[in-house]
Amino acid sequence: MKGQIRKALSGFYYVVTADNTVYQTRGRGNFRKRKLTPLVGDRVEFESSNLTDGYILDLLPRKNELVRPPVANVDLGIVVISMVEPAFSYNLLDRFLVNLEFKDIEPVIYLSKLDLLADKDASTKVKSVYETIGYNVIASEDDETNKRALEKLFKDKLSVFMGQSGAGKSTLLNKIRPDLALETAAISDHLGRGKHTTRHVELLEIGGGLVADTPGFSSLEFQEITSQELPRMFPEFVQAAPLCKFRECQHVNEPDCEVKRQVAKKEIAVTRYDNYLQFLAEIEKRRPVYKKSK
């Protein structure tokens, strides 16, 4: 049989099939030897003679995976970034965006706490910078407007919320689903073995799609991205690069660089370019990780 892992808890994986039947399963013993860990969101092949004693036989190919929260096959990454308390950071937002681009996850930027913002032009400026690049930015002081905008995006997608601590990820999720805490407990009774205090990742059906109920922080370091790959994580650089003199232009010291020309003309945001240079320096200083030969 085939299905999707919707919840992982205490060594059990709760797999939902196409007909919406839930099976409690365990991973095969050889997964550890093969260094495979099933994740929520994985599509799997499994066998089961009843609803509570199944075994996952194989993991179907993943298109991506996140570490925090541990979810596979993510379509949409909703970056909740605060405009105030904590203060807005272009650098932090760009870190999230670069990691999402690398994982081939569609980013959505959600600007929170606009009602606490003294300078209303600040959010307009941020919105303009990222919409010019092509990113979807949700920024309204009206909660209902934001909620409708998000719910339109959920359909047929697996979505994950991410952002810094205190940005309001949990608050936002509860506004979308006021009954979330009650529903999570009820699902735990049905899928698991009663209520659990341990935090776990679970996919909930919202707006015709699946949303991870645990707001994740996601990685802000660039452990996997190489210095050659980094320029391709900036969509506006990708668009400008064909006009650079050198095919593999790093947009730093090379002559006749279109990216630097557009930065100088403010066609590319200076904040984005400055952050790119900082990220590039971090990657180049990173200690190499050598994989052990098998």
Res. 77: pLDDT tops 50: yes
Please identify which residue in the block is written with the tokens 């205090």: 197
Q: Flag whether 115 is marked binding.
A: yes
Q: Flag whether 256 is marked binding.
A: no
Q: Flag whether 257 is marked binding.
A: yes
For the chain, the domains span 2-59, 76-212, 230-285
Three-state DSSP class for residue 184: helix
Q: Flag whether 167 is marked binding.
A: yes
Global confidence as pTM = 0.87
pLDDT of residue 47: 93
Q: Flag whether 10 is marked binding.
A: no
Residue range 138-159, pLDDT digits in tens: 998 887 888 888 889 999 999 9
Superfamily of domain 230-285 in CATH is Probable gtpase engc; domain 3 (1.10.40.50)
Q: Flag whether 113 is marked binding.
A: yes
Q: Flag whether 251 is marked binding.
A: yes
Res. 289: pLDDT tops 70: no
Res. 185: pLDDT tops 60: no
Which alpha helices (DSSP H) does the chain contain, by range? 30-33, 90-102, 120-133, 143-154, 169-176, 180-191, 235-240, 258-264, 270-285
pLDDT of residue 290: 53
Q: Alpha carbon 8 to chain centroid distance?
A: 18
Three-state DSSP class for residue 165: coil
Three-state DSSP class for residue 242: helix
- Given the candidates 2.40.50.140, 2.40.50.100, 3.10.450.40, 3.40.50.300, the CATH classification of the domain at 2-59 is 2.40.50.140
pLDDT of residue 218: 65
pLDDT of residue 2: 95
Q: Flag whether 114 is marked binding.
A: yes
Residue range 53-76, pLDDT digits in tens: 899 999 999 999 998 889 999 999
Q: Flag whether 265 is marked binding.
A: no
Please answer whether residues 161 and 112 qualify as being in contact, where contact means their C-beta atoms are separated by less than 8 angstroms.
Answer: no
Q: Flag whether 163 is marked binding.
A: yes
Three-state DSSP class for residue 139: coil
Residue 131: DSSP 8-state: H
Q: Flag whether 170 is marked binding.
A: yes
Q: Within 13 Å and on the Cβ side, how many CA atoms surround 26?
A: 8
Q: Flag whether 166 is marked binding.
A: yes
User: Which pair of structure tokens corresponds to residue 216?
Assistant: 């994740």
* Closest by CA position to 97, among listed 214, 220, 212, 210: 220
Q: Flag whether 112 is marked binding.
A: yes
Q: Flag whether 249 is marked binding.
A: yes
Residue range 195-227, pLDDT digits in tens: 333 467 889 888 889 998 777 676 677 888 999
* Residue 47 to residue 45: CA distance in whole angstroms: 7
Q: Using CB atoms within 10 Å of the CB of residue 284, give its burial: 0 to 12 exposed, 13 to 18 middle, 19+ buried.
A: exposed
Question: Is it true that the peptide bond before 255 is cis, omega within 30 degrees of 0?
Answer: no
What are residue 71's DSSP bridge partners?
Answer: 40
> Percent of the chain at pLDDT above 70?
88
Q: Using CB atoms within 10 Å of the CB of residue 154, give its burial: 0 to 12 exposed, 13 to 18 middle, 19+ buried.
A: buried
CATH number for the domain running over 76-212? 3.40.50.300
